A and B are shown apart, each in its own frame.
Chain A
Amino acid sequence: MIMDAFTTHTGTALPLRRSNVDTDQIIPAVYLKRVTKTGFEDGLFAAWRNDPNFVLNLPRYTGATILIAGPDFGTGSSREHAVWALQNYGFRVVIGSRFGDIFRSNSGKAGLLIAVVHQKIIEELWDLVEEHPAAPITVDLVERQITAEGFHTEFEIDDYTRWRLIEGLDDIGLTLRHVDHIDAFERNRAAYKPKTLPAKVASSS
């Protein structure tokens, strides 16, 4: 998939004060039946959206593009729909202290920036945003910095994902540059390794 390049983003933020928000909470399975990558915003945090006090329903956070998440965000199911739901809703960045591995990887592929900071910084950001919901926050991927008025911190992201996001590179295209390596590997692969074709099945006793 070809992505838009990501260098820096400025927007308002939304504080999600919960830990262990698994991908079933980000988008329940019943919303995963679509065969497209769009239209998943309705399913975002669906189980909590009925509560008028849920942070996504508070008018002061309308239009937020940066999600400030609690520890262990995006654990559980591998559904990339969780990333699409966040993006479809309008989020460009998730800042948190710990993430599920598959969610983080999916985000990197789909162009949602995952910025990792210490949980102490998350607490500071939560306080800041709750006090000043309209405060613009800038997430600079090139410099790996998060800045707001009176606030500055650095964040972690692995070098390779950062480079791919900044360049907006298509992952498959990158791999296909090395197709000769794949060809060579396949030539040396052991003959006893299983193949799904031709299909073999047990006798239907």
Chain B
Amino acid sequence: MGKTLSEKVWDDHVVRTAEGEPDLLFIDLHLIHEVTSPQAFDGLRQAGRQVRRPDLTLATEDHNTPTLNIDRPIADPVSRTQVETLRNNAREFGIRIHSLGDLDQGIVHIIGPQLGLTQPGLTVVCGDSHTSTHGAFGAIAFGIGTSEVEHVLATQTLPQAMPKTMAVNVNGELPVGVTAKDIVLALIAKVGTGGGQGYIVEYRGSTIEALSIEGRMTICNMSIEWGAKAGMIAPDETTFAYIKSRPHAPEGADWDAALAYWRTLRTDPDATFDAEVDLDAAQLTPFVTWGTNPGQGVPLGAEVPDPEIFAEESDRTAATKALEYMALKPGQKMRDIHVDTVFLGSCTNGRIEDLRAAAGVIRGHHVAESVRMLVVPGSARVRLQAESEGLDVIFKDAGAEWRAAGCSMCLGMNPDQLSPGERAASTSNRNFEGRQGKGGRTHLVSPLVAAATAVTGTLSSPADLSGTR
């Protein structure tokens, strides 16, 4: 019987297999940031161990870093210590680091692909759950904890039990104004936040094949939001073209050898998955969340649901608690919800394509008076690219704030945070209670909806601006 994509990549990385033990997997690329690595380096020092493969390791600073005044020392002394600890560890162990102010600094999941280090058929790990982003290239990519970071630093391997396989089949043509973000939000609402637990998921079908690599990264990025171990997409001409010009793309004979291997990375026609989910792209509309987990979402044209409609008691309780936290009432139209802040950025939607899409909507309009809009490029290079295209001017002319690269308001760890009770439309990945700042309320949206919402001040789609809805 044939193999699925994930089984092929998995099998190519098994260092050792033994009855009753997890497989020992080789790790091709280990990405590191300041938050989840200090205790791992301490562990190495205590045990007198070295980093086995500095040449397969890359560090950057993103979670704690401010997006204003980046030429000055980080104001928060605790954040500054954490960033300096990473710099010291990188120096001590010979690891490449892209620090704040460096042209290649940025969100860890943006810079790996941008440098051409993320490639098909790799295993990629990082002490960050959104490592699943890299699966868009046909890699097995997953988030790990700090103990595992230490394990990879010391051994370049991880013991892993093989997950089950799942196919998510997305077919049909996406309607205008519907994006990769809407696909994944609709999917999570359908399967629930635990729907992918124990699976490596392969996103496939005509809709996925038609997506840009940026759109594919958006979908794979949110695999963890429905509990999946990893999300993958088979590499194709779109993938190869994206990698070809990147600094770390293979060259000459290496390119030919790599390409020949990459072309084998497809699920065989006679392979079977342990589970399958189907989604009809033609039926999708812009999707937004109303609650406090990414599965609590509805079409933008719908209303806040009544908790009583949920079959499971735990879902009813969760919905009631979520509505209380979000200060929303059942039956309220999503389009009537006012926001205070719009955040465009993050490893989900902080790439150049996202900024272009939002700029296209906001051009010629102005951010509503009651709204502040933060535009935060995912990396320093995305920022430069956007500036070379004049996107910064479009955003600034519209009244938005144009910031330096980082995780920013996605996670409430740096100065960019919501105040208690403040409500945001956010292109990030988590609407958890307090995720964007203590007491903050988050609606997850696509870049198109974010831009339109900034203009109207209520959750909106671009069609609402032009009157073509």
Contacts and interface: CB of A to CB of B under 8 A. Distances in A.
A58 interface: no
Interface string B305-321: 00000000011011001
Given A33-B78, A194-B116, A102 B144 contact: yes
Interface in A80-121: 80-81, 83, 98, 100-102, 105-106, 109-110, 119
B148 A105 contact: yes
Select the residue from A20, A79, A109 with max chain B CB neighbours within 10 A.
A20
A192 B255 contact: yes
A87 B22 CA distance: 26
A123 B362 CA distance: 51
* The 4 nearest A-B residue pairs measured at CB: A106-B145, A109-B147, A80-B145, A35-B38
Q: Name A's interface SS.
A: loop
A99 B79 CA distance: 30
A98 B192 CA distance: 13
A119 B78 CA distance: 40
A181 B24 contact: yes
Contacts of A25: 432-434
Given A19-B317, A34-B78, A196-B117, A106 B26 contact: no
B463 interface: no
Given A18-B317, A76-B224, 16 more contacts: A20-B318, A24-B433, A29-B63, A71-B194, A76-B430, A78-B127, A78-B128, A80-B145, A98-B194, A109-B147, A110-B145, A160-B159, A171-B159, A192-B258, A195-B248, A196-B96
Interface stretch (B49-57, B276-284, B446-454): B49-57
Contacts, number: 221
Contacts of B20: 159-160
B58 A196 contact: yes
Contact of B36 (A78, A105, A195, A197): A78
A100 B293 CA distance: 13
Interface of A: 1, 18-20, 22, 24-25, 28-30, 32-37, 47, 70-72, 75-81, 83, 98, 100-102, 105-106, 109-110, 119, 158-160, 171-172, 174-176, 178-179, 181-182, 185-186, 189-197, 199-202, 204
A185 B25 CA distance: 10
B198 interface: yes
Given A35-B81, A192-B258, A193-B28, A178 B54 contact: no
Contacts of A101: 197-198, 227, 229
Interface residues of B, number: 91
Nearest to B314: A19
Nearest to B411: A29
A44 to B, nearest CB: 14
A47 B194 contact: no
Interface string B110-139: 000001110100100001110000000000
Contacts of A197: 54-55, 96
B247 interface: yes
Contacts of A109: 145, 147-148, 151
B426 interface: no
Contacts of B24: 175, 178, 181-182
Contacts of A196: 29, 54-58, 96, 117, 248
